[in-house]
Structure 1
Amino acid sequence: MSYDISDVNVLFPAKIDWQEFEKYQPWEPFADEVLEFLSVMSASLLKDRESRLYPDVVTFAFFCRKGNLKKLKEQYTDDKLRLGRGIVFHIGPSNVPINFAYSLVSGMLAGNYNVVRCSSKEFPQVDMVVKHLAVTAEAVPEVGKRIAVVRYGHESQANDYFSSICQARVIWGGDETIYRLKQSKAPARSIDVTFADRYSFAAINADKLVSEQNMERLAENFYNDTYLFDQNACSAPHLVVWLGSKENMAKGKELFWKAEYDMVQKKNYNFQSVMAVDKLTDFYRQSQAMEICYTETKDNELVRVQLSDELPSNIDDYRSKCGYFTEYDAKSLDEIAHIVKYKYQTMACYGISAEDIREFVLKNHLIGIDRFVPFGDTTAFSLTWDGYNLIQILSREVTI
């Protein structure tokens, strides 16, 4: 079957022969050539002064450093014989600009050819990475020819074409995006790895927080978890659960939120009028559904809403964004177990031990939460994401 893909904008490489691209040859995971390509690209990105304007690009560059790749290889390889599946078709998300690059890297490290569709929204981070892909491909051409980064509209036949030639699809986006992409037929043995709508929350041990020596750094970490992407990332906390004594909760809230507001001002957060309207609308909607109390702040760049003694099981239906936080005071983590559905992804933690987290998970037989991370690490990419080991799932095991 033929497809009209003349409307596809190929961002990388400059020219591509799709018939040649289909003649893929899978490599073993963490092939030396791929590691060299990524480490060269990392160095190229870090040398570019413009990349420093984008913390997420810098973080991506550090992820691709030779030393980190070596650690990942030790962590994700064993003595089993594995090869990439072939061509992986990635559909990047529209809410986190740099995620397309992490998705690409996971497919590369697993030994595959990769076609990555970027969001139709234009982001400078995408342009930055594409520019350095081109630079690196000149130095390591045998890897560059295994990569295609594209952009096209929703009416294009490209989804059908790329689905028809792939052995795996990695789909980032909302549930509706995933349902729509699955309408494009893929080969019978092709697999889908889907990253659907998820949501996250934070938990703070106030007994530990009141002794925090670097509240500014903690506030910056939380800023990066939330405000950096307007709370649109699946890993961004919306609910903040407080633990500890009442006295320390009161003191901890005052210290933490003051530091957070100051950080929002320091970062010159781009707060727009429409955000203020959305937050006010969301507050009214939430106030009709549950008993809440608005906590006074200097302005609505930071909105705090305190729940009463009850934590509704559907609290996740009342998420807002751009600096809107619902707070709940709990005696223990067990009090919040009833809200944890399978769509919960991340719990950002402060002052909570690994032992307490383990007990919380096992005692309550949680069906959700795939990640427990410290503040500042909610968006930190891992080759195990949403419970998927991407190296294993994007490669195949060969038995002898």
Structure 2
Amino acid sequence: MSKRPLPADLPLTYHAGAGIADIDCRPLPPYAPPTLAFLADLSRRLLADSACRTFPDIAAFGYWCRPANLARLAAAAAGPQRRLGRGLALHIAPANVPVNFAFSLAFGMLAGNANIVRVPAAPKEQTLILCAALRELFAEPVHARLAAMNRVVGYPRDDAITAALSACCDARVLWGGDRSIAQLRQLPMPPRCVEIAFADRYSLCLLDAASVAASDAAALAKLAGDFYNDAYLLDQNACSSPHLVLWLGDEATAARAQAVFWPALAEVVRDKYPLSAVQAVDKLSDLCRIALELPAAVASTRHGNAIYRIRLAALPPDIERVRGRHGLFLEYVSPDSDCLDAIVDEKTQTLTCYGVDREQLAQTIVDRGLRGIDRIVPVGRALDIGPVWDGYDVVGALSRIVHTK
């Protein structure tokens, strides 16, 4: 059990698991068999649930937890060193990505920790569905150890409650905007407690214009569908969703590529994305505001209400402050990737690519010493979260080495 007693009288709503005072904080090794068995059962339960057809983000999490993927992650993390979870990990999950709490919990489990995960006081439907599945598995005797080690709780934003939980933890995982992270970091934690903070980030997409222009109908439809998943599934709210599209090539080739890509995307959006009246007004308001406030914005194109595009004549160095919602994108044409030098900083997280050599691009980023871009993935993989995220080895950071020499 934890050497630091957990408070029993905090005003918490328990979405999964029993009271926190009874949590078992004895750590397991990373990727321990009981953990892998639990997550595999969770995957099977979720993928058999009809809710997966309603919520693609739940399906994505269930697919991520499948045994084959967990085995691949365990094999990649294997090494000669003995590792053990740190003890009790406190996770503060964000409100804008409902399934994020489940990934954070899974990372804590895979690292071998006991976990307390705080979800917003008014959880989204996806959160409630996932917590129901967790409760059902926690009730099964075969998963008694994992049930004893994990809790999902809810409470309104309250520094006193978070401080009381922080005082008892061995690791703290914070998700949120810059101001929220800064406020949470002021709350004390034990001297040896480790902390990982996933703050506000900015992401973009790099499309090779010649490759897009040369795509046949099937390839173009797939590209449009993949881009839709990156941007529209979470309304561009995810830190890894693109706001800026960079066209790699000359102006003429980029124009040909744009003439086929955006209409293909608009067709997907009209089929899949139910744009509400409020969202349409917000998007139009954003378009007008950016046009007025951003000197580099020289033109705009609308594909009905499905897509709004803002053409840039130059890339402002503070481009990360200009964000799209509900399908609003900035775009810029560049002859090469040197344009990244002017805009990439520590806030830049994910670069999705099409028709580009990602390994070569990654080496270029290393050679140039760019302070940002932690992920370079194909279009369609922006939302694929994993135990390496924001440049952190999350499972490694949440576990410790038991060293012999």
**5+ unaligned residues in a row in structure 1: which ranges?**
none
Q: Does 1:335 align with 2:335?
A: no
Runs of 4 or more consecutive aligned structure 1 residues displaced over 6 Å after TM superposition = none
Cα deviation, residue 282, structure 1: 4.7
Matched, 1:20 2:25: no
Within-5 A mapping of 1:1-400: 5-13=9-17, 15-16=18-19, 18-21=20-23, 23-139=24-140, 140-155=143-158, 157-213=160-216, 214-308=219-313, 310-400=314-404
Q: Is residue 5–residue 158 contact of structure 1 (8 Å, CA) maintained in 2?
A: no
Distance (Å, rounded) in 1 between the aligned partners of 2:178 and 2:76: 31
- Supply the distance in 2 between the matched residues of 1:203 and 1:121 (Cα, whole angstroms): 37
What is the aligned length?
Answer: 396
Cα distance change, pair 2–29 in 1 and its aligned pair in 2 (3 A) = closer
Q: 1:277 to 1:102 in 2, by over 3 A?
A: closer
Q: Do the aligned partners of 2:232 and 2:273 also contact (CA within 8 Å) in 1?
A: no
Q: Percent identity?
A: 34
Matched residue SS, 1:61: helix
Are the counterparts in 1 of residues 311 and 332 from structure 2 also a CA contact under 8 Å? yes
Change (3 A) 1:325 1:55: same
- CA distance in 2: counterparts of 1:70 and 1:101, whole angstroms: 19
After superposition, what is the alpha-carbon deviation per residue over 1:35-68, rounded to whole angstroms, capped at 9, x for unaligned? 1111111111111122221111111111111111
CA distance 1:138–1:277, shift in 2 (3 Å): closer
CA contact (8 A) 2:250 2:334 kept: no
CA pair 154-5 structure 1, distance change in 2 beyond 3 A: farther
* Counterpart Cα distance in 2 of 1:371 and 1:281: 28
Inter-partner Cα distance in structure 2 for 1:281 and 1:127: 32
Q: Which runs of 5+ in 2 are unaligned?
A: none
What is the SS of the residue equivalent to 2:137?
helix
The separation in 2 between residues aligned to 1:336 and 1:179, in whole angstroms, is 28
Measured at CA, do residues 288 and 35 of structure 1 come closer, stay the same or move farther in structure 2, by a change above 3 Å? closer
Distance in 2, matches of 1:46 and 1:215, equals: 29
Distance in 1 (CA, whole Å) between partners of 2:288 and 2:349 is 24
Deviation at 1:275?
Answer: 4.5
Question: How far apart are residue 265 of structure 1 and its match?
Answer: 0.6
Cα distance change, pair 277–58 in 1 and its aligned pair in 2 (3 A): closer
Could you report, residue by residue, the CA deviation over 1:272-322 in whole angstroms, capped at 9, with x for unpaired residues? 3255245424533443331323333232331101111x2221222222311
Mapped to 2, the partners of 1:370 and 1:355 lie a distance apart of 13
Q: Report how far residue 75 of structure 1 moved.
A: 0.3
Amino acid at match of 2:156: G
* Corresponding letter in the other structure for 1:94: A
1:119 and 1:221 map into 2 onto residues whose CA distance is 30
Amino acid at match of 2:268: M
Q: TM-score, normalised by structure 1?
A: 0.94
Per the normalisation by structure 2, the TM-score is 0.93
Q: 2:352 is paired with a residue of what secondary structure?
A: strand
The SS at the match of 1:157 is: helix
Counterparts in 2 of 1:263 and 1:72: CA distance versus 1, 3 Å: same
The one-letter code of the counterpart of 1:91 is: I
SS in 1 for 2:376: strand
Q: Which amino acid aligns with 1:348?
A: T
> Cα offset for 1:4?
7.9
For residues 58 and 259 of structure 1, what CA distance do their matches in structure 2 show? Answer: 25
CA distance, structure 2, for counterparts of residue 305 and residue 20 of structure 1: 54
Q: State the SS of the aligned residue for 2:117.
A: strand
Paired letter, 1:290: P
Tell me the CA shift for residue 5 of structure 1. Answer: 4.6
AA partner of residue 132 (structure 1): A
Distance 1:344 1:157, change over 3 A: same
